[in-house]
Chains A and B, each alone.
Chain A
Amino acid sequence: MGRTLTFKIFRYNPYDDGSKPHIQEYTLEETPRLNLFNALNKIRDEQDPTLMFDFVCRAGICGSCAMMINGRPTLACRTLTSDLPGTIELYPLPFFKMLGDLSVDTGVWFREMAQRVESWIHAGKEFDPNAEETRMDNKTAVAIYNTERCIECGCCIAGCATANVRSDFMGAAGLNRIARFMIDPRDERGHETWFELVSTDEGVFGCIGMMGCDDVCPKDIPLLDTLAFIRRRMTAGS
């Protein structure tokens, strides 16, 4: 115990003309079970009230605290300083719109993605409130649940070399979302619709299989499995 941690934090405010991107250093005494959520708040409270970063749930649920921690995109609230060496480098997630320092706007991207993949169940049947609920077998329900665990943190986009250079690429999160509706028996979209949406260079065939997404997803969503499933589904159906 009792390490003194050095934080090297990327500072830049795009809304301030005088601001230049630079790295600022802070030091902080390590306390037992300190996580980056507490560490950053301490720095802001005690040393620098201008430091910008996002946290909401501090429990790995909301996805707002993703940042590059020693070179790797992951959730700050779930990262203990004891898992890190004494020097901790923090950068904002690349690719997303910069709001200031460690804060980026993942929301716009995810909303556009949701609109693009029409992220809702497409059903034409009239709803009958008196009818018995349609049953779903457990395997399907679990598979859907697995895709739905995505918290839209953006780590898989930040960690994907393809997404980093091609802003129109749907990314693993987008393809994961598509898979969610593809396996849902209630969704009436047919193969042709999926095929047009996903069998493109912006979709699954833009992915070159570098596996960064799967390796960094803090929710351990089996993204590679999902991608393989979509590829085969697209090939078999056509």
Chain B
Amino acid sequence: MNNIKTELYPQAIRGGGKKSEAYKKARRALIAELISGVTGLLLAGFIFGHLILEGTMLFGKDLYEVVAYYMEHPLPLAQISAFSIGILFFVHFVYASRKIPARLYERKRMMEIGLSIKKAKKRWSQPKSDIMLRRHRETSLWIWQVRTGMIVLACGAFHLFLVTWNIFTDMGYADASGLTAKIASSRVESGLWILYLVLGISVVAHLAIGLYRLAVKWISDTWFNRRWAYLLCTVIFWFYVILCIAGVAALAGKLTLIEIPVGDLLIRS
């Protein structure tokens, strides 16, 4: 009996002992998917914290200095995160960009189909027709995720490099090494604000779309369905985009919400 079964359905009852080539290949595909998702998630978590900490500049230089101080004392948190984020950044880039179609023809085709379905919305007159016409924007969103990913790759690498250099040396600002409001502001004022704006908005768009797709891909069949995911990620997007713009303005010395005078707390040794 068992023999007949084996012949009819050879792949059905293999198993036990050594794993086949196909199994190993499947395992690699799963691991690659998990790595790109988890590194994306970790990076997103880091960016959330990072932008909030930068945003403390909105409450005055003093608060920013306090935060900067605790990023380096007693533990060199800034140094540790610059290092580990650099690694995560690279790993994420390697694994996530597997999905980007290599050939120009393929990329064009993807855009075509995305635009076609998206524009269809305008070319049907009754969006409430019972058959269909739910929105469709996600294909274009993915394409934007790839584009913003590229921008983040370029600007982010530069930014990481600069900051790493800064927190390990005094970078020629003889009076202080490490994080200070003065250095951050002088970087922004010297024209880098453009870079920070582009990088900030791109990174936030990239991670909002990424988190949305991540949620849909893994848990859309739970109560946290696509609708909730979309809503939450839209809120995340706008909150962080505004925070980022305001933060850059604050670093440029153009915007302060309220000054919180906590400078006295600082005892720099």
Contact (Cβ within 8 A) A199 B138: no
Which residues from chain A contact B226 at a C-beta distance below 8 Å? 211, 224
Q: Which of A126, A158, A165, A235 contacts B101 (CB 8 A)?
A: A165
A30 within 8 A of B: no
Interface residues of A in 175-200 (CB under 8 A from B): 188-190, 192-193, 195-196, 198-200
Stretch of B27-35, B62-70, B238-246 with 4 or more beta carbons under 8 angstroms from chain A: B27-35
B116 within 8 A of A: yes
Which residues from chain B contact A232 at a C-beta distance below 8 Å? 218-219
Q: Which of B123, B132, B138 contacts A212 (CB 8 A)?
A: B138
Closest to A235 in B: B30
Question: Interface residues, chain B, CB within 8 Å of chain A?
Answer: 1-2, 4-5, 8-9, 11-15, 20, 22-23, 25-27, 29-30, 32-34, 99, 101, 105-106, 109-110, 113-114, 116-117, 119-120, 123-126, 129, 131-132, 134-136, 138-139, 141-142, 213-214, 216-221, 226
Closest to A192 in B: B15
Which residues from chain B contact A188 at a C-beta distance below 8 Å? 12-13
Contact (Cβ within 8 A) A227 B29: no
Could you show 12 A-B contacts with beta carbons less than 8 Å apart?
Answer: A70-B120, A70-B124, A74-B132, A158-B113, A190-B13, A211-B216, A211-B226, A212-B114, A212-B139, A215-B135, A216-B132, A235-B34
CB distance from B174 to the nearest CB of A (A): 50
Q: Which of B14, B27, B105, B123 contacts A199 (CB 8 A)?
A: B27
Contact (Cβ within 8 A) B131 A228: no
Q: Which of A89, A159, A166 contacts B117 (CB 8 A)?
A: A159
- A232 CA / B135 CA spacing, docked (Å): 26
A124 within 8 A of B: yes
A225 within 8 A of B: yes
Given contacts A196-B20, A210-B138, 19 further A-B contacts (CB under 8 A): A70-B120, A70-B123, A71-B117, A71-B119, A71-B120, A89-B123, A122-B9, A158-B113, A161-B114, A164-B109, A165-B110, A192-B23, A196-B22, A199-B30, A205-B33, A209-B142, A209-B213, A210-B114, A211-B138
- A71 CA / B34 CA spacing, docked (Å): 34
